[in-house]
Structure 1
Protein backbone atom coordinates (compact mmCIF):
# COMPACT_ATOMS: atom_id res chain seq x y z
CA UNK A 1 0.00 0.00 0.00
CA UNK A 2 1.52 3.35 -1.01
CA UNK A 3 2.39 5.74 1.78
CA UNK A 4 1.13 9.29 1.86
CA UNK A 5 2.96 12.22 3.35
CA UNK A 6 1.00 15.28 4.38
CA UNK A 7 2.91 18.44 3.56
CA UNK A 8 1.63 21.60 5.23
CA UNK A 9 2.65 24.86 3.55
CA UNK A 10 4.64 27.19 5.79
CA UNK A 11 2.07 29.93 5.24
CA UNK A 12 -0.49 27.84 7.15
CA UNK A 13 1.92 27.38 10.05
CA UNK A 14 2.74 31.08 10.43
CA UNK A 15 -0.33 32.09 12.48
CA UNK A 16 -0.43 29.01 14.79
CA UNK A 17 3.30 29.21 15.47
CA UNK A 18 3.25 32.90 16.36
CA UNK A 19 0.05 32.66 18.41
CA UNK A 20 1.55 29.73 20.32
CA UNK A 21 4.73 31.68 21.04
CA UNK A 22 2.81 34.77 22.20
CA UNK A 23 0.53 32.62 24.38
CA UNK A 24 3.57 30.94 25.91
CA UNK A 25 5.05 34.36 26.74
CA UNK A 26 1.79 35.45 28.38
CA UNK A 27 1.52 32.22 30.36
CA UNK A 28 5.09 32.30 31.72
CA UNK A 29 4.85 36.00 32.56
CA UNK A 30 1.50 35.57 34.30
CA UNK A 31 2.63 32.49 36.22
CA UNK A 32 5.83 34.04 37.56
CA UNK A 33 4.14 37.35 38.38
CA UNK A 34 1.49 35.52 40.42
CA UNK A 35 4.10 33.46 42.23
CA UNK A 36 6.17 36.55 43.04
CA UNK A 37 3.06 38.75 43.46
CA UNK A 38 4.30 41.55 41.22
CA UNK A 39 2.27 43.20 38.46
CA UNK A 40 5.29 45.10 37.20
CA UNK A 41 7.16 41.82 36.81
CA UNK A 42 4.42 40.58 34.48
CA UNK A 43 4.97 43.42 32.01
CA UNK A 44 8.76 43.25 32.28
CA UNK A 45 8.79 39.52 31.63
CA UNK A 46 6.22 39.75 28.84
CA UNK A 47 8.15 42.40 26.93
CA UNK A 48 11.43 40.56 27.52
CA UNK A 49 10.08 37.25 26.25
CA UNK A 50 8.35 38.78 23.24
CA UNK A 51 11.56 40.60 22.40
CA UNK A 52 13.24 37.27 21.72
CA UNK A 53 11.27 37.11 18.48
CA UNK A 54 10.09 40.66 17.84
CA UNK A 55 12.68 43.00 19.38
CA UNK A 56 13.48 44.76 16.09
CA UNK A 57 9.79 45.48 15.43
CA UNK A 58 9.51 47.17 18.85
CA UNK A 59 12.63 49.25 18.13
CA UNK A 60 11.34 50.23 14.68
CA UNK A 61 8.06 51.48 16.15
CA UNK A 62 9.97 53.48 18.78
CA UNK A 63 12.22 55.07 16.13
CA UNK A 64 9.31 55.86 13.83
CA UNK A 65 7.29 57.45 16.63
CA UNK A 66 10.30 59.49 17.75
CA UNK A 67 10.81 60.97 14.29
CA UNK A 68 7.05 61.43 13.80
CA UNK A 69 6.43 63.37 17.01
CA UNK A 70 9.78 65.03 17.77
CA UNK A 71 11.77 65.59 14.58
CA UNK A 72 9.16 66.17 11.89
CA UNK A 73 9.29 69.98 11.61
CA UNK A 74 12.13 71.12 13.87
CA UNK A 75 15.06 71.40 11.46
CA UNK A 76 14.74 74.83 9.84
CA UNK A 77 17.63 77.07 10.89
CA UNK A 78 17.44 80.24 8.79
CA UNK A 79 15.04 82.22 6.63
CA UNK A 80 15.44 81.77 2.87
CA UNK A 81 16.34 84.97 0.95
CA UNK A 82 13.75 85.66 -1.77
CA UNK A 83 13.01 88.44 -4.25
CA UNK A 84 10.10 90.87 -4.16
CA UNK A 85 7.85 88.22 -5.73
CA UNK A 86 8.80 85.73 -2.98
CA UNK A 87 10.78 83.57 -5.40
CA UNK A 88 14.19 82.06 -4.82
CA UNK A 89 16.83 82.91 -7.41
CA UNK A 90 17.77 79.43 -8.70
CA UNK A 91 17.90 75.87 -7.41
CA UNK A 92 19.87 72.64 -7.88
CA UNK A 93 18.30 69.33 -6.83
CA UNK A 94 20.78 67.15 -8.71
CA UNK A 95 21.01 63.72 -7.09
CA UNK A 96 17.95 64.30 -4.94
CA UNK A 97 15.24 63.53 -7.46
CA UNK A 98 15.76 61.74 -10.77
CA UNK A 99 13.29 62.82 -13.44
CA UNK A 100 12.28 59.86 -15.66
CA UNK A 101 12.49 60.64 -19.37
CA UNK A 102 9.77 59.12 -21.53
CA UNK A 103 10.82 59.88 -25.07
CA UNK A 104 14.61 60.15 -25.41
CA UNK A 105 17.83 60.66 -23.45
CA UNK A 106 17.21 64.42 -23.20
CA UNK A 107 14.28 66.47 -22.00
CA UNK A 108 11.59 66.96 -24.61
CA UNK A 109 9.69 70.21 -25.03
CA UNK A 110 6.68 68.62 -23.36
CA UNK A 111 8.75 67.56 -20.36
CA UNK A 112 10.38 71.00 -20.13
CA UNK A 113 6.95 72.61 -20.03
CA UNK A 114 5.86 70.19 -17.30
CA UNK A 115 8.89 71.14 -15.20
CA UNK A 116 8.29 74.84 -15.79
CA UNK A 117 4.70 74.50 -14.66
CA UNK A 118 5.83 72.82 -11.44
CA UNK A 119 8.59 75.27 -10.47
CA UNK A 120 8.11 78.68 -12.08
CA UNK A 121 5.88 80.03 -9.34
CA UNK A 122 8.62 79.83 -6.68
CA UNK A 123 11.92 79.89 -8.67
CA UNK A 124 12.97 82.95 -10.65
CA UNK A 125 15.75 81.83 -13.05
CA UNK A 126 16.41 78.10 -13.44
CA UNK A 127 16.43 74.67 -11.85
CA UNK A 128 19.09 71.95 -12.24
CA UNK A 129 17.77 68.39 -12.13
CA UNK A 130 18.92 64.81 -12.66
CA UNK A 131 17.30 62.73 -15.38
CA UNK A 132 17.40 59.10 -16.39
CA UNK A 133 16.15 57.01 -19.28
CA UNK A 134 16.24 53.34 -20.21
CA UNK A 135 17.58 52.81 -23.70
CA UNK A 136 19.34 49.91 -25.39
CA UNK A 137 19.05 47.72 -22.27
CA UNK A 138 20.83 50.20 -20.02
CA UNK A 139 20.06 53.22 -17.89
CA UNK A 140 21.36 56.58 -19.05
CA UNK A 141 21.73 59.30 -16.41
CA UNK A 142 22.20 62.99 -17.08
CA UNK A 143 21.95 66.43 -15.48
CA UNK A 144 19.96 69.18 -17.16
CA UNK A 145 19.11 72.82 -16.55
CA UNK A 146 15.64 74.18 -17.22
CA UNK A 147 15.27 77.95 -17.51
CA UNK A 148 12.13 79.42 -16.01
CA UNK A 149 10.02 82.56 -16.41
CA UNK A 150 11.43 83.28 -19.88
CA UNK A 151 14.98 83.65 -18.60
CA UNK A 152 17.67 83.02 -21.21
CA UNK A 153 21.06 81.32 -20.65
CA UNK A 154 23.45 84.27 -20.45
CA UNK A 155 25.98 82.22 -18.48
CA UNK A 156 25.56 78.47 -18.75
CA UNK A 157 28.20 77.91 -16.06
CA UNK A 158 26.37 80.02 -13.48
CA UNK A 159 25.92 77.92 -10.32
CA UNK A 160 22.52 77.69 -8.69
CA UNK A 161 22.06 80.00 -5.71
CA UNK A 162 20.39 77.29 -3.62
CA UNK A 163 21.27 73.61 -3.50
CA UNK A 164 19.60 70.56 -1.99
CA UNK A 165 21.88 67.58 -1.34
CA UNK A 166 21.14 64.01 -0.30
CA UNK A 167 23.48 61.78 1.70
CA UNK A 168 23.23 58.35 3.30
CA UNK A 169 24.41 58.78 6.90
CA UNK A 170 25.46 56.26 9.54
CA UNK A 171 22.97 55.21 12.21
CA UNK A 172 23.60 53.57 15.58
CA UNK A 173 21.43 50.58 14.55
CA UNK A 174 22.31 49.99 10.88
CA UNK A 175 20.77 46.50 10.84
CA UNK A 176 17.39 47.97 11.84
CA UNK A 177 17.12 51.31 10.05
CA UNK A 178 18.93 53.62 7.67
CA UNK A 179 18.77 57.36 7.15
CA UNK A 180 19.10 59.77 4.24
CA UNK A 181 19.89 63.35 5.22
CA UNK A 182 18.96 66.29 3.00
CA UNK A 183 20.66 69.67 3.34
CA UNK A 184 19.24 72.94 2.02
CA UNK A 185 22.18 75.29 1.42
CA UNK A 186 22.46 78.91 0.31
CA UNK A 187 25.61 78.59 -1.84
CA UNK A 188 26.15 82.34 -1.88
CA UNK A 189 26.67 82.47 1.88
CA UNK A 190 27.30 78.74 2.57
CA UNK A 191 24.57 78.87 5.22
CA UNK A 192 22.65 75.66 5.86
CA UNK A 193 19.03 76.79 5.83
CA UNK A 194 17.53 73.47 6.90
CA UNK A 195 17.98 69.72 7.01
CA UNK A 196 15.48 66.95 6.36
CA UNK A 197 15.46 63.18 6.71
CA UNK A 198 14.17 59.99 5.17
CA UNK A 199 14.16 57.05 7.59
CA UNK A 200 13.81 53.58 6.06
CA UNK A 201 13.66 50.26 7.87
CA UNK A 202 15.87 47.28 7.06
CA UNK A 203 14.73 43.66 6.94
CA UNK A 204 16.79 40.52 7.54
CA UNK A 205 16.07 36.81 7.61
CA UNK A 206 18.40 35.41 10.27
CA UNK A 207 16.39 36.03 13.44
CA UNK A 208 14.69 33.69 15.90
CA UNK A 209 11.31 34.15 14.23
CA UNK A 210 12.73 33.27 10.81
CA UNK A 211 14.11 29.99 12.11
CA UNK A 212 11.24 28.87 14.35
CA UNK A 213 8.11 30.95 13.68
CA UNK A 214 7.91 30.65 9.88
CA UNK A 215 8.71 34.26 9.04
CA UNK A 216 9.87 34.05 5.44
CA UNK A 217 11.25 37.04 3.45
CA UNK A 218 7.76 37.94 2.21
CA UNK A 219 6.41 38.05 5.77
CA UNK A 220 9.31 40.30 6.78
CA UNK A 221 8.41 42.70 3.98
CA UNK A 222 4.70 42.57 4.82
CA UNK A 223 5.27 43.46 8.48
CA UNK A 224 8.08 45.93 7.92
CA UNK A 225 7.25 49.56 8.67
CA UNK A 226 7.01 52.07 5.80
CA UNK A 227 9.66 54.74 5.50
CA UNK A 228 9.05 58.11 7.14
CA UNK A 229 10.35 61.40 5.78
CA UNK A 230 9.92 65.13 6.29
CA UNK A 231 11.62 66.21 3.07
CA UNK A 232 8.36 67.32 1.44
CA UNK A 233 7.41 69.43 4.48
CA UNK A 234 10.82 71.09 4.81
CA UNK A 235 11.11 71.67 1.04
CA UNK A 236 7.76 73.46 1.00
CA UNK A 237 8.48 75.59 4.07
CA UNK A 238 12.02 76.56 3.06
CA UNK A 239 11.71 77.06 -0.70
CA UNK A 240 8.04 77.58 -1.55
CA UNK A 241 6.15 79.21 1.32
CA UNK A 242 6.34 82.99 1.62
Structure 2
Protein backbone atom coordinates (compact mmCIF):
# COMPACT_ATOMS: atom_id res chain seq x y z
CA UNK A 1 0.00 0.00 0.00
CA UNK A 2 1.55 3.32 -1.05
CA UNK A 3 2.19 5.82 1.75
CA UNK A 4 -0.32 8.61 2.18
CA UNK A 5 0.96 12.12 1.60
CA UNK A 6 -0.76 15.15 3.04
CA UNK A 7 -0.57 18.02 0.57
CA UNK A 8 -1.36 21.43 2.02
CA UNK A 9 -2.33 24.10 -0.52
CA UNK A 10 0.03 27.07 -0.53
CA UNK A 11 -2.91 29.43 0.01
CA UNK A 12 -3.39 27.91 3.48
CA UNK A 13 0.26 28.51 4.31
CA UNK A 14 0.21 32.18 3.31
CA UNK A 15 -1.23 33.61 6.55
CA UNK A 16 0.77 31.52 9.07
CA UNK A 17 4.01 32.03 7.13
CA UNK A 18 3.64 35.81 7.00
CA UNK A 19 2.41 36.12 10.58
CA UNK A 20 5.36 34.05 11.72
CA UNK A 21 7.81 36.25 9.85
CA UNK A 22 6.25 39.49 11.16
CA UNK A 23 6.28 38.09 14.71
CA UNK A 24 9.92 37.16 14.27
CA UNK A 25 10.68 40.74 13.15
CA UNK A 26 9.00 42.17 16.25
CA UNK A 27 10.77 39.68 18.52
CA UNK A 28 14.26 40.40 17.19
CA UNK A 29 13.60 44.15 17.18
CA UNK A 30 12.42 43.94 20.79
CA UNK A 31 15.62 42.16 21.78
CA UNK A 32 17.60 44.91 20.10
CA UNK A 33 15.51 47.49 21.98
CA UNK A 34 16.28 45.79 25.30
CA UNK A 35 19.96 46.09 24.53
CA UNK A 36 19.88 49.67 23.23
CA UNK A 37 17.00 51.09 25.33
CA UNK A 38 16.07 53.25 22.34
CA UNK A 39 12.69 53.30 20.60
CA UNK A 40 14.35 54.85 17.55
CA UNK A 41 16.67 51.86 17.25
CA UNK A 42 13.65 49.56 17.73
CA UNK A 43 11.72 51.15 14.84
CA UNK A 44 14.78 51.24 12.58
CA UNK A 45 15.46 47.56 13.26
CA UNK A 46 11.80 46.62 12.75
CA UNK A 47 11.58 48.55 9.50
CA UNK A 48 14.81 46.98 8.31
CA UNK A 49 13.66 43.42 8.98
CA UNK A 50 10.24 44.03 7.42
CA UNK A 51 11.89 45.60 4.39
CA UNK A 52 13.64 42.34 3.61
CA UNK A 53 10.30 40.93 2.49
CA UNK A 54 7.98 43.90 2.05
CA UNK A 55 10.18 46.82 0.94
CA UNK A 56 8.30 47.37 -2.33
CA UNK A 57 4.93 47.54 -0.54
CA UNK A 58 6.33 50.04 1.95
CA UNK A 59 7.75 52.24 -0.83
CA UNK A 60 4.49 52.06 -2.79
CA UNK A 61 2.53 53.32 0.21
CA UNK A 62 5.05 56.14 0.71
CA UNK A 63 4.77 57.13 -2.97
CA UNK A 64 0.96 56.96 -2.87
CA UNK A 65 0.75 59.16 0.23
CA UNK A 66 3.24 61.64 -1.21
CA UNK A 67 1.21 62.18 -4.37
CA UNK A 68 -2.19 62.17 -2.67
CA UNK A 69 -1.18 64.51 0.17
CA UNK A 70 1.62 66.70 -1.17
CA UNK A 71 1.03 66.85 -4.93
CA UNK A 72 -2.75 66.60 -5.19
CA UNK A 73 -3.56 70.32 -5.04
CA UNK A 74 -0.26 71.85 -6.14
CA UNK A 75 -0.50 71.40 -9.87
CA UNK A 76 -2.71 74.31 -10.98
CA UNK A 77 -0.66 77.38 -11.92
CA UNK A 78 -3.29 79.65 -13.49
CA UNK A 79 -6.87 79.45 -14.70
CA UNK A 80 -8.22 79.58 -18.27
CA UNK A 81 -10.05 82.57 -19.68
CA UNK A 82 -13.81 82.06 -19.81
CA UNK A 83 -16.60 84.04 -21.47
CA UNK A 84 -19.57 85.63 -19.73
CA UNK A 85 -21.28 82.24 -19.56
CA UNK A 86 -18.31 80.69 -17.78
CA UNK A 87 -17.19 78.66 -20.81
CA UNK A 88 -13.71 78.24 -22.23
CA UNK A 89 -13.25 78.88 -25.96
CA UNK A 90 -12.31 75.38 -27.17
CA UNK A 91 -10.44 72.27 -26.06
CA UNK A 92 -8.39 69.46 -27.57
CA UNK A 93 -8.13 66.08 -25.84
CA UNK A 94 -6.53 64.33 -28.82
CA UNK A 95 -4.50 61.26 -27.77
CA UNK A 96 -5.58 61.78 -24.18
CA UNK A 97 -9.16 60.56 -24.36
CA UNK A 98 -10.02 57.94 -26.99
CA UNK A 99 -13.68 57.60 -27.93
CA UNK A 100 -14.44 53.99 -28.97
CA UNK A 101 -16.20 53.53 -32.31
CA UNK A 102 -18.26 50.55 -33.38
CA UNK A 103 -18.76 51.88 -36.91
CA UNK A 104 -16.49 53.75 -39.30
CA UNK A 105 -17.63 57.22 -38.16
CA UNK A 106 -19.34 58.91 -35.25
CA UNK A 107 -23.08 58.45 -35.36
CA UNK A 108 -25.40 61.37 -34.72
CA UNK A 109 -26.39 59.84 -31.40
CA UNK A 110 -22.74 59.63 -30.35
CA UNK A 111 -22.18 63.25 -31.39
CA UNK A 112 -25.22 64.32 -29.39
CA UNK A 113 -23.87 62.51 -26.32
CA UNK A 114 -20.51 64.29 -26.65
CA UNK A 115 -22.26 67.63 -27.12
CA UNK A 116 -24.42 67.16 -24.03
CA UNK A 117 -21.37 66.23 -21.99
CA UNK A 118 -19.17 69.19 -22.94
CA UNK A 119 -21.16 72.18 -24.20
CA UNK A 120 -21.97 73.38 -20.68
CA UNK A 121 -18.35 74.49 -20.18
CA UNK A 122 -16.87 74.69 -23.72
CA UNK A 123 -18.15 77.32 -26.15
CA UNK A 124 -17.04 76.36 -29.67
CA UNK A 125 -15.72 72.82 -30.11
CA UNK A 126 -13.83 69.90 -28.64
CA UNK A 127 -11.26 67.81 -30.52
CA UNK A 128 -11.21 64.12 -29.63
CA UNK A 129 -9.56 60.93 -30.80
CA UNK A 130 -11.75 58.10 -32.02
CA UNK A 131 -10.47 54.53 -31.93
CA UNK A 132 -11.74 51.49 -33.76
CA UNK A 133 -10.44 47.92 -33.69
CA UNK A 134 -10.37 46.41 -37.14
CA UNK A 135 -8.24 43.86 -38.97
CA UNK A 136 -6.38 43.04 -35.73
CA UNK A 137 -5.20 46.59 -35.20
CA UNK A 138 -6.40 49.84 -33.65
CA UNK A 139 -7.28 52.67 -35.99
CA UNK A 140 -7.08 56.19 -34.55
CA UNK A 141 -8.63 59.32 -36.05
CA UNK A 142 -9.08 62.88 -34.90
CA UNK A 143 -12.57 64.33 -34.83
CA UNK A 144 -13.84 67.85 -34.13
CA UNK A 145 -17.26 68.11 -32.50
CA UNK A 146 -18.88 71.55 -32.60
CA UNK A 147 -20.88 72.76 -29.62
CA UNK A 148 -23.64 75.23 -28.78
CA UNK A 149 -24.60 77.45 -31.76
CA UNK A 150 -21.60 76.17 -33.73
CA UNK A 151 -23.11 72.70 -33.97
CA UNK A 152 -25.83 74.18 -36.18
CA UNK A 153 -23.59 76.40 -38.29
CA UNK A 154 -19.84 76.35 -37.81
CA UNK A 155 -19.44 79.14 -40.36
CA UNK A 156 -19.70 81.44 -37.33
CA UNK A 157 -16.04 80.57 -36.77
CA UNK A 158 -13.49 82.82 -38.41
CA UNK A 159 -11.48 79.70 -39.26
CA UNK A 160 -13.12 76.27 -39.16
CA UNK A 161 -9.68 74.66 -38.85
CA UNK A 162 -8.43 76.89 -36.06
CA UNK A 163 -6.54 75.12 -33.32
CA UNK A 164 -8.18 74.69 -29.94
CA UNK A 165 -7.44 77.42 -27.39
CA UNK A 166 -6.62 74.85 -24.73
CA UNK A 167 -5.07 71.45 -25.23
CA UNK A 168 -4.11 68.51 -23.02
CA UNK A 169 -1.03 66.39 -23.65
CA UNK A 170 0.12 63.18 -21.99
CA UNK A 171 3.77 62.23 -21.49
CA UNK A 172 5.47 59.39 -19.66
CA UNK A 173 7.86 60.58 -16.98
CA UNK A 174 11.08 58.92 -15.93
CA UNK A 175 10.71 57.18 -12.59
CA UNK A 176 13.41 56.65 -9.97
CA UNK A 177 11.80 53.31 -9.15
CA UNK A 178 10.98 51.88 -12.57
CA UNK A 179 10.18 48.45 -11.16
CA UNK A 180 7.66 49.87 -8.68
CA UNK A 181 5.51 52.28 -10.67
CA UNK A 182 4.90 54.11 -13.93
CA UNK A 183 4.06 57.80 -13.98
CA UNK A 184 2.26 59.76 -16.68
CA UNK A 185 1.93 63.53 -16.63
CA UNK A 186 -0.95 65.44 -18.20
CA UNK A 187 -0.19 69.01 -19.23
CA UNK A 188 -2.96 71.58 -19.68
CA UNK A 189 -1.69 74.15 -22.16
CA UNK A 190 -2.94 77.55 -23.30
CA UNK A 191 -2.03 77.43 -27.00
CA UNK A 192 -2.24 81.22 -27.37
CA UNK A 193 0.59 81.81 -24.92
CA UNK A 194 2.03 78.27 -25.02
CA UNK A 195 2.04 78.30 -21.21
CA UNK A 196 1.23 75.31 -19.02
CA UNK A 197 -1.67 76.31 -16.79
CA UNK A 198 -1.80 73.03 -14.90
CA UNK A 199 -0.53 69.48 -14.69
CA UNK A 200 -1.97 66.22 -13.44
CA UNK A 201 -0.48 62.85 -12.64
CA UNK A 202 -1.45 59.23 -13.17
CA UNK A 203 0.47 56.58 -11.23
CA UNK A 204 0.28 52.86 -12.00
CA UNK A 205 1.89 50.53 -9.47
CA UNK A 206 3.61 47.53 -11.04
CA UNK A 207 3.67 43.92 -9.93
CA UNK A 208 6.30 41.20 -10.05
CA UNK A 209 6.80 37.75 -8.57
CA UNK A 210 10.58 37.82 -8.35
CA UNK A 211 10.95 38.67 -4.68
CA UNK A 212 12.04 36.85 -1.54
CA UNK A 213 8.49 36.64 -0.23
CA UNK A 214 7.39 34.83 -3.38
CA UNK A 215 9.92 32.10 -2.65
CA UNK A 216 9.67 31.83 1.12
CA UNK A 217 6.33 33.31 2.26
CA UNK A 218 3.98 31.79 -0.32
CA UNK A 219 3.14 35.02 -2.15
CA UNK A 220 1.58 33.85 -5.41
CA UNK A 221 0.77 36.06 -8.38
CA UNK A 222 -2.81 36.28 -7.12
CA UNK A 223 -1.63 37.47 -3.70
CA UNK A 224 0.61 40.10 -5.30
CA UNK A 225 -2.35 41.44 -7.26
CA UNK A 226 -4.57 41.36 -4.18
CA UNK A 227 -2.17 43.41 -2.05
CA UNK A 228 -0.92 45.70 -4.80
CA UNK A 229 -2.01 49.34 -4.56
CA UNK A 230 -4.59 50.57 -7.04
CA UNK A 231 -3.61 53.20 -9.57
CA UNK A 232 -4.01 56.81 -8.46
CA UNK A 233 -4.56 60.01 -10.44
CA UNK A 234 -5.68 63.60 -10.00
CA UNK A 235 -6.55 64.25 -13.64
CA UNK A 236 -10.29 64.36 -12.96
CA UNK A 237 -9.81 66.84 -10.11
CA UNK A 238 -7.55 69.19 -12.09
CA UNK A 239 -9.75 68.99 -15.21
CA UNK A 240 -12.85 69.86 -13.20
CA UNK A 241 -11.20 72.76 -11.35
CA UNK A 242 -9.74 74.26 -14.53
CA UNK A 243 -12.60 73.92 -16.97
CA UNK A 244 -15.87 73.04 -15.24
CA UNK A 245 -15.99 74.75 -11.82
Short-chain TM bin: over 0.9
3-state SS of the aligned residue for 2:161? coil
Structure 1 position 233 matched with structure 2 position 237: yes
2-structure distance, mates of 1:35, 1:188: 66
Query: What TM-score do the two structures reach when normalised by structure 1?
Result: 0.94
Aligned twin of 1:220: 224
Shift of 1:9: 1.6
How many residue pairs are counted as aligned between the two chains? 240
3-state SS of the aligned residue for 1:210? helix
Unaligned 5+ residue runs, structure 2? none
Aligned twin of 2:106: 107
2-structure distance, mates of 1:36, 1:73: 42
Shift of 1:189: 1.2
Aligned twin of 1:27: 27
3-state SS of the aligned residue for 2:239? helix
2-structure distance, mates of 1:16, 1:156: 67
Aligned twin of 1:123: 122
Give matches, 1:38-77, under 5 Å: 38-77=38-77
2-structure distance, mates of 1:147, 1:188: 20
Aligned twin of 2:165: 161
For the aligned residue pairs, the C-alpha RMSD in angstroms reads 1.5
Higher alpha-carbon deviation: 3-12 or 121-130: 3-12
Query: What TM-score do the two structures reach when normalised by structure 2?
Result: 0.92
2-structure distance, mates of 1:228, 1:70: 14
Higher alpha-carbon deviation: 27-36 or 133-142: 133-142
Shift of 1:200: 1.6
- 1:77-131 deviation per Cα after TM superposition (whole angstroms, max 9, x unaligned): 1221112222111110011111122x41321111100000000011111101112
Shift of 1:195: 0.8
Higher alpha-carbon deviation: 27-36 or 210-219: 27-36
- 1:163-221 deviation per Cα after TM superposition (whole angstroms, max 9, x unaligned): 01111111111111221101111111111111111122111111111111111111111
1-structure distance, mates of 2:196, 2:140: 28
2-structure distance, mates of 1:161, 1:38: 60
1-structure distance, mates of 2:115, 2:36: 70
Q: What is the aligned counterpart of 1:209 among 200, 206, 213? A: 213
3-state SS of the aligned residue for 1:163? strand
2-structure distance, mates of 1:98, 1:212: 43
